[in-house]
Structures are given as structure tokens and as C-alpha cells.
Structure 1
Amino acid sequence: MRGIVLPEREERSFWIDGDRLRTEPVPGAELVVDGGWLLPGLVDVHTHPGTESREGPFSEQLLRRHLTDHRDAGVLLVRTPGTASRIPDWVDQDPELPRVRSAGRWLATPGRFFPGFGRDVTEADLVQAAVEEVKASSGWCKVIGDWKHDQPALPLETLTAVVQAVHAIGGRVAAHCQTSEGSRNAVLAGVDSLEHGMHLDPELIDRMAAQGTAFVPTLSVLGAGADRRRASAPGPGRDWWLAGWEGMLPNVRAAHEAGVTVLAGTDSLPCGTVGSEVDWLVRAGLSAEAALGAASWSARSWLGLPGLVDGGLADLVAYDTDPTLDAAALGHPSRIILRGRVVA
């Protein structure tokens, strides 16, 4: 393969040796990409494959289809921050599917999630449950930090205890938050990623940057619901939601400018639409390159994977035109290579 590598914007050549990239020639290699733009495989850091409704059960058939949809769009790594069932072992063993970093089942305390959709636990049992999900997943757990606007968030001391216990075993904590109290508690507790972050107090952004709390705003799914909310009947819930949405884009821009790691996650169906989140991040004020990085090299680095380097994973996407200049290019990769194999 040869082309211009992003984000370095340098022309390079790579050879594939098994599932690894090499910068030295491999005997008998066949040229599969000649020119264009090369990116580390795209990443969706907030997606829930395997279910399509709260009424339908987790389905391994759906899981395979959703992951295939991601792959066909060039999304070669996903993080699943909460699912209705733990991701089965066969997913990581299937060379046709994206790499998955899972957080086990959603962890929900009474009144803070759809009943029975995740793992329902008491506040007293939450710390132990979080440790169990971390050990049974890819080193992550997902805690529902708040729920409805007129209900209290998970107490700060409880969430802090979760973070301390999970960090003690080398794990990481993602927190669903959409109220001011919930977002505040998540930041003060030191979670590793703030999911959604509606009503986030801008005064907390510098603390997020200092302690390394990433921001996954899921703008595409929230933005898609904004018009529906505006058209709904007036009331406290509607007003609260719209007020939170109005602050999202300014907070994303401020977070990025403060040095917070802002990442692209869709939280929506169909799978394979992370390009829409990149578009929203640009609308929020990120440069086209930073927004693309949030769905590629920056996200991979945050999840502990290298970019396009010697010895790195042979997971990459090629485009005929520069995707930082041509917004439509993300939807039309010219070549997709996963685990060293050409899949499209």
C-alpha cells in the first residue's frame, strides 16, 4: 500500500505481514492501494450493537449484522459502553468483524434506567458489580450516572467508590450523564469517559482536561432528536432537555480548546454512521482534522492502539480524496483492510 498518511500528511508505503504493518518490503506482496489517502481504521466509541429496541432481546445475529455494517463503513474498532448482554467470545475470534472493546452490561441502580435492560443493582452492590463487569469485558464498565431530570443522580460518594475500585484493578469507567448533577458527579468522581454530558457545567472542563476524562458527546443522536423535542408539548422535561442541548455544541468546542479528549460516538442506528458524528463535531467548532481524528487516530490512541506505524495493526481505510477536505469521502472508502485482509 502507498498513499498519504493522516494525520502526518506524509506519503508512505506499507507492507502487510499477517495482521501487522511493515515499512520494509515483504516478499511476494501484491499492491492493493496505489495512491490516495490512508487512515487508521475508523472508530465508533459509543455504539450498542446487538439490540434494536428495548423490547427486543439481545441477539447474536443482530450483533453480527451491526458489526458488519460498521466494518463496511470503514469502522474497524468499536467500543460498546454497555449492552443488554456481555459480548460473546466469538466476536474477537472472527477475522471478518471489527475489533471490539466492551464495557459489559449497563450498570443501573433503582429508577435510573429502563428496568431489566441492563444489569439492575442496588447502590450498595454497585462497586462489586462494576468490578465484575470490568473483569468480564475489555477492562471497562458503564455506570448509569443519572436518568430523569426530576430525579437525583447517583451519589458522588458511590460513583467515586466505583472509580477507585475499578482503577485499582486497572479498569476504566464510562458514565452516562445527562443532568447537571450527574455530569458534575462524574467529573468529580474522576470517570474515564463522560458519555453525553448534557448540562455539563463549563467550569468543570479544565478539571476534565487535567485528570484525563474524555468527552463523548454523541451529538448526532442528540441533534436528531432536537426538532422532535421542540415539537413536543411544553413542559419541564421538554424545557430541561432543550436547555441541555443548547449547551452541547459550545461545551464540546470549549472542551476541545481546553485539551479534553473529545471522541466520536454515535449511540444510534443504523451502525456504520460515525461520519455523521464527525460532521457534528465540525459544527461544534473542531477543525476537520481534529474531528476526523476523534473517529480514527485519536480514538485508537485513547483505546491503547497504535496508528499507521511499523508493527502496528493492519487495520486501515483508504480514500481517493482527502477526507478532511471532502466531507462526503468518509462514506465512500476505496479500500478497507481489517486484520491484514482486504475486506472491501
Structure 2
Amino acid sequence: MVLPERERRTFWIDGDRLRTDPVPGAELVVDGSWLLPGLVDVHTHPGTESRDLPFSDEVLRRQLTDHRDAGVLLVRTPGSAARIPAWVDQDPALPRVRSAGRWLATPGRFFPGFGRDVSEADLVRAAVEEARSSSGWCKVIGDWKHGEPAVPLEILTAVVRAVHAIGGRVAVHCQTAEGSRNAVLAGADSLEHGMHLDPDLIDRMAAQGTAFVPTLSVFGAGADRRRAGEPSAARDAWLAGWAGMLPNVRAAHEAGVTVLAGTDSLPCGTVSTEVAWLIRAGLPAQAALGAASWAARSWLGLPGLADGAPADLVAYDTDPTLDPTALAHPSRVILRGRVVA
């Protein structure tokens, strides 16, 4: 059974492509399972394990392999400590990667030296450079600490216009009301986190095609620790922002915003946890699953399960839309036409 269509279909694999016509000499590898296009994590940062350690090719390979073994066959890295090296795309055993180059951080708005530190005056030029040197994306740290100003709207708007002019796309980190507002008004292609998002901006996001990547699992994992912390303005602001995130995710989905699954956390390969959070926020199970599979692949420019599509798919013994916990336990993983797990 193929999702999302819920149709009984048969595919053959010819090289690294799916075919609907029989391929001579084919070997049966999956029978009677639920088939999904390869899973997607649209917000993950493989290659680093902490801010104290440098970007590492060894860590990058291991973490991408963790994604792959969990059925995540396409990842988007919205910012890294270093540009993703070319060998990743040349390795058939690793997931497909869509990168955004290095994080772009203006003074005081990120961990010093962890991304690419640029002045506000140089931000437009740097954004175009990162988009051109990556998979067409760039990532701007649009805000940082509570009570401190976000990247000004006019600068962020200029970034979006310049990157769009070369055919690129802009992701914006935003965790304050001003940062989320500016990202939407500037026409960013995706809000990363979107904490403190004004619900009145959701219809505008839908109209202009701004996607919402709320990374609920990483926030949810830290919520109890925040509540137990010493009272402060920053703590109270964070908790207020978290309280609004699940209702905003549901409202965004209902308004037609593209809501996508991204983990922003370690270990890699846990996108099933993010899907569970999207369901908890109020998304129907099929929509939450699509946010980590067919909808995410389409948003990143790849088809689902169709004749001529890349042979990237995962198989399950049970219907993951009826039992979302099954998503963490694929029975078969096929990447570029090869059985890898």
C-alpha cells in the first residue's frame, strides 16, 4: 500500500529510479508493506556534536548514516559551522542533502564564531554568497536573546529580495515576536522555530508561501527544565512563547501553511519524534507524516513514489498513519535503488 494515496501499487527499481513497468530479472525485496517516500528532516545540523568541537567530516558521515538507518533519506541543513563538503553528494550510501551554507549571524545574534559572523551592512552580500555556494538556500539568524532587537526588517527584506533574484531561498531563525514578525513581513521562505509568532500573521504566511518549521521536539524536550529554572524575564518569555507554539502550529496547518518536520536536535534520525509532536499539536496523522515525507520532499523539489522518481523509499509492516509509533521502525530502507537497511 502506497502513501499518501493509500493505493495498492507495484514498483520495480531500475538503477536508482522507480518504474511502474516490470524490469527483467528483478528481485523481490518488499511485499505487502506500507510504502512511503523516504523520510525527510528539514532542520538538522549534522557535522557537529557541540559548540566546543569543530565541524568534522567523520561526525557528518556518522550522523547522516544515523538519519539514513532511521529511514530519513533527505535532509535539509539550514546552516552549519562549515559548508557541506562535495563528497556527501557523491556518496550513494548517504541521504540526499539540501544545505544552506554557513549560519549568517550579525553581531550579538549567535554563538560567536560558530557560524559566519557578518555585519548588518554585509548581510545581503553574504546571503547571496552562501546561497550560491550551497543548495540554493541561506540561513539568517534573525534574532537571538529575549529583549534584544532582531535583524531590522528593511535589511531582512533586502536579503530575501537579493537571494530570490538569483533563484535562492531564505530560512530565518526566529524565537522572538519581533524576529518572527520580521521574517514573515520580509517574505522569508521558511520560519525556523517561529516562537512568539503573532497568529495574525499566519494568513499572510499561507498567502506568500512561507513554510513553518517549528522544531517542537527540541523545545518540548527542554520545557520542564525551563519551568524548573529560576524565575526571570527570559525564562517567563520562553515559556510564554512555548505555550503558543502548539496552537500556532495547528492554526497554521488549518490556514494552509506548509508545516514541516525538523528536529534541530541530537541524536540524528529522530524525525518520528517530531511527527508525534505535530500530531500532539493537532495535525491529522496523515498531514504530520507528510510533513516528514511526501510534503517535505515536494517542498524541496523531489517527487514522491512515481514512475521515474528517485528510488528512495521506506517500508513499514503496519500503517504509520494509524500507528505513528511505527514510523521509528522501518522494515526496509531503500536509498538510490539500494537496500541499505
Measured in 1, the distance between the counterparts of 2:147 and 2:51 equals 22
Q: Which deviations, in whole Å up to 9, do the C-alpha atoms of 1:80-136 show, x marking residues without a partner?
A: 000000000000000000000000000000000000000000000000000000010
1:244 to 241, 244, 253: 241
Indicate yes or no: 2:172 matched with 1:172: no
Residues 212-255 of structure 1: per-residue CA shift (max 9 Å, x gap): 00000000000001000000000100000000000000000000
Shift in Å, 1:56: 0.6
For 2:185, the aligned partner's letter is L
Cross-structure match for 1:18? 15
Runs of 4+ in structure 1 off by over 4 angstroms are: none
> CA–CA distance in 2 between the matches of 1:212 and 1:203?
15
Post-superposition CA distance 1:127-173 (Å, at most 9, x none): 00000000100000000000001110000000000000000000000
Determine helix, strand or coil for the equivalent of 1:329. helix
For structure 2, the 5+ residue unaligned runs are none
Offset of residue 331 of structure 1: 1.3
User: Which residue, out of 320, 324, 327, partners 1:327?
Assistant: 324
Q: Which residue, 297, 300, 308 being the options, matches 1:303?
A: 300
- Pair 1:255-2:248 in alignment: no
* Structure-1 residue corresponding to 2:115: 118
In structure 1, C-alpha distance between the alignment counterparts of 2:332 and 2:94, rounded to whole Å? 16
5 Å-filtered alignment, 1:72-111, equals: 72-111=69-108
How many angstroms apart in 1 are the aligned matches of 2:87 and 2:226?
40
Question: Match of 2:145?
Answer: 148
Answer yes or no: is 1:44 the counterpart of 2:36. no
State the distance in 2 between where 1:215 and 1:189 align.
14
Give distance in 2, aligned partners of 1:90 and 1:127.
28
Instruction: Name the CA distance, whole Å, in 1 between partners of 2:174 and 2:35.
Output: 35
- In structure 1, the residue matched to 2:135 is 138
Q: Choose the corresponding residue for 2:284, options 287, 295, 302.
A: 287
TM-score (norm 1): 0.99
1:6 corresponds, among 3, 7, 10, to: 3
Q: Aligned residue for 2:58?
A: 61
Whether 1:274 aligns to 2:282 is no
CA distance in 2, matches of 1:5, 1:313: 15
Task: Give percent identity, aligned residues only.
Answer: 85
The amino acid that maps onto 1:312 is: A
The two structures have a TM-score, normalised by structure 2, of 1.00
1:178-223 per-residue CA deviation (whole Å, 9 max, x = no partner) reads 0000000000000000000000000000000000000000000000
Kindly tell me the number of residue pairs found equivalent between the two proteins.
Answer: 341
**Counterpart-to-counterpart distance in 2, 1:331 and 1:261:** 23
Post-superposition CA distance 1:54-75 (Å, at most 9, x none): 1110000000000000000000
Letter in 2 for 1:71: R
Q: Distance in 2 between matches of 1:103 and 1:331?
A: 27
User: What is the RMSD of the two structures over their aligned residues, measured on CA atoms?
Assistant: 0.4
Offset at 1:327?
A: 2.1
Q: Does 1:191 align with 2:160?
A: no
Deviation, structure 1 residue 326: 1.3
The alpha carbon displacement at 1:22 in A equals: 0.3
Q: Distance in 2 between matches of 1:61 and 1:265?
A: 22
> Is 1:205 aligned to 2:202, yes or no?
yes
Return the alpha-carbon distance in structure 1 between the equivalents of residues 238 and 49 of structure 2. Answer: 23
